[in-house]
Homo-oligomer: A and B are copies of this chain.
Amino acid sequence: MGSTKTDLFSTEQNEIAALLKAIAHPARIAILEYLVKVDTCICGDIVNELTLAQPTVSQHLRELKNAGLIKGNVEGTAICYCVDQSKIARIQAYVSDISSKLDHKTDQCC
């Protein structure tokens, strides 16, 4: 037990769950927001932005990278991270789809 039974669900359900799970942590939310804010890819100061220890930040960055949400380019001694727009768009499309289907719902018992 303990581990998620991914074989019981569709590929799409597992993919969306994995993407959402990668964002579903305040530190990773903060990282994404910072990457969006700076509007440039020269970003070696994410560690300074967060109050977490450097290995912890590095670990969160790796999770975002594994999920495909960010990409990283080695840029001399620093590393340039940026958000992968297509993955964000994928999440947006999914959530918008759910939301619009709820708009058309007729029954409202709750």
Residues of A within 8 A of B (CB): 4-6, 8-9, 13-14, 16-18, 20-21, 23-30, 32-33, 36, 39-42, 50-52, 71-73, 75, 80-85, 88-89, 91-92, 95-96, 98-99, 101-103, 105-110
Cα A88 to Cα B20 in complex, Å, equals: 13
A sample of 16 more A-B contacts (CB under 8 A), given A13-B29, A92-B96, is A4-B25, A4-B26, A8-B27, A8-B50, A9-B29, A17-B23, A21-B21, A32-B98, A36-B102, A41-B107, A41-B110, A72-B110, A82-B110, A83-B98, A88-B95, A88-B98
In the complex, what residues of B have CB within 8 A of residue A27's CB? 4-5, 8-9
